[in-house]
Structure 1
């Protein structure tokens, strides 16, 4: 499906302008995970640009068939990285989904639960008391293969969540940082957030913590523009009250949405700051082999993959190996693992096959959605690899300062 540069038949707006940047070269196809899965032009960035252009110009009706190709997109942004015309594909996808509105198959109730960290934490505690981790797989198998609740149960971590991140009083004069906890990450990645605070303070930074709430990423990428803007306004209010000069998130999947909500503000992966002061951090040896999964957002949005490797290689005796690429995406992609669990599982299993070639003792991944998704596959395949955030590992190996 090629994009035709024809005269406008209807108001095109921003979507048509973005689509017209595409030169139809096809360099995006080899790096697109959904094109690799289906070998269908409509499941490629070039095909989706054509669909978006046709919808914006009123040349096509937003039926279920066309809509599905857009909804299948993972938003990994590998296409942007190789595009010679600098097409803003991520922006085009967001604008097109906003034009269409949320999909009918979107698991609204489940997503509302995920976006409410206080409720999610309470339910996780109840699940821990009931021993849910012991029988969740049997319960999940009773649900249909395509059920988002089945995927959610299979991805549920064992045990109760760690306590919310806390910071100790720090009177030094270093630049003030604010950590954004997020929604799911504030519950299931609290240990990594605490690790980030520990490492940053050891490197001489003053860190504060914002309240835990959803940044709006799932709504933004799901076409729920009004809900996404409400979340963005909450981000702006929390940021204004923080008095900080830089905002941090240990979840690369939140960075793009936070930057969109706070244009002109420095929003960073803490790995970037830690790598810049790596000389002040010293680590205990660890003689293990680790497979490092680099989330798409860490490579294409945060762009801290090299900095993370630099930090991990400061741990003496640690053998850390990045997963080969392709595959280019594990399939988690925000709410994609809930909306299209079968497709997400195909991409995840390809990622785990690559990890298995490294024969690791642990698997590291910095995005909570990716890590829960990969852990579910590890559990189902009986691989017995512990999974954790790289910052958690770094904090555990950190030598205390004297």
Structure 2
């Protein structure tokens, strides 16, 4: 079995340099620079793994810029495993100097994050965070984090409740940021899955290791993977679900052989058993890269939304192919992320939405910050929250759109 460098060389050798990846690559669209394209990055990875090039800051920068959206994998005729190549190359290089370790260590601890969010609400942080933001450098990851901080308190931690009936026992993985900022969507997933006849339990809230894995922090990523395996084994479940598409790839990597799904995939197979109340609303549906290319649940999502009578469902056109959030990318490279987000919002504006739906918490917080900055008036939600709100016999507190 080849070592890490040999594995990178082996993966890079699959590329035939055809260039079909260039039109779908968001970073190539930004720069029109071959080094900022998938085949350019593959060539850099091959040179680094063979010792033909040294890992200078200039050479590794295009690798750090990659969003990991995987649109290139989808169109590649040679079936290059680009995600694996990117992970292995970043593992060889180690974390970038722009990797915001302290901020990410806070984000990855949901109990601490929830406590700080409550403290911020108690001291009226939303009223004066603008003053603080203006005093932080433009490239500061803390500045971006404050810009994406929601003004409202997060919902209570998710609970599955008592269940005696059901078809298949599922375990829900809450994650880190999502367990705090997407607790409403996680509770919505439980409501919908139970209505479809599934039994479901909830794993402890912690980080799956996605940001470490994609940031080259190999040891931390493996520690997170081991924690995932331990929690899964203790659950006794047969399938694992996450409402955050950005976690699915990392969870699947930690649990080979386990069926790890977006709950939308399961719900779509039971769509006929779910009855929804009408809702006269025009919604634009942002499809995160990981939902399209990893979860592969975009068609399931649109199918479910179209089961809601009177709901006007408009998928956001692609391109743009990525909103720029991409895990920790918005924190590390805010100047590169912003044009991608602005392009996404321009596309959304052409559809004149009343609400914007997005399944990935990082994407939704980043888009919401852009909506705010542009003075638009589009509430943002997880699609599961809207579906649970319209579900027949749903709890009364979910009735307000």
TM-score range, shorter chain: over 0.9
Query: Which structure 1 residue ranges, 5 or more long, are not aligned?
Result: 1-9
Match of 1:32 among 16, 21, 25: 25
Q: Distance in 2 between matches of 1:64 and 1:11?
A: 20
Query: Which structure 2 residue ranges, 5 or more long, are not aligned?
Result: 396-401
Deviation per CA, 1:269-306: give whole Å up to 9, x if none.
Answer: 00000000001111111111001000000000000100
Deviant stretches of 4+, over 4 Å? none
Match of 2:354 among 342, 353, 361: 361
Q: Distance in 2 between matches of 1:140 and 1:26?
A: 41
Q: Distance in 2 between matches of 1:40 and 1:254?
A: 30
Match of 2:381 among 373, 379, 388: 388
Match of 2:167 among 166, 174, 184: 174
Aligned to 1:298: 291
Q: Distance in 2 between matches of 1:22 and 1:124?
A: 46
User: 1:155·1:376 contact (CA, 8 Å) conserved in 2?
Assistant: yes
Q: TM-score normalized by structure 2?
A: 0.97
Q: Distance in 2 between matches of 1:199 and 1:338?
A: 33
Q: Distance in 2 between matches of 1:190 and 1:281?
A: 22
Aligned to 1:6: none
Q: Distance in 2 between matches of 1:291 and 1:141?
A: 31
Match of 1:238 among 223, 231, 240: 231
Q: Distance in 1 between matches of 2:140 and 2:31?
A: 21
Q: TM-score normalized by structure 1?
A: 0.96
Aligned to 1:352: 345
Aligned to 1:133: 126
Calculate the aligned-residue CA RMSD, in Å: 1.2
Aligned to 1:7: none
For 1:364, what is the secondary structure of its paired residue?
strand
Aligned length: 393
Q: Distance in 2 between matches of 1:246 and 1:258?
A: 12
Q: Distance in 2 between matches of 1:398 and 1:229?
A: 39
User: 1:202·1:401 contact (CA, 8 Å) conserved in 2?
Assistant: no
For 2:356, what is the secondary structure of its paired residue?
strand
Deviation per CA, 1:118-145: give whole Å up to 9, x if none.
Answer: 0000000001111111222232122111
Aligned to 1:222: 215
Q: Distance in 2 between matches of 1:79 and 1:154?
A: 30
**Superposition pairs for residues 205-284 of structure 1, below 5 Å?**
205-284=198-277
Deviation per CA, 1:115-171: give whole Å up to 9, x if none.
Answer: 000000000000111111122223212211111010000000112110000012111
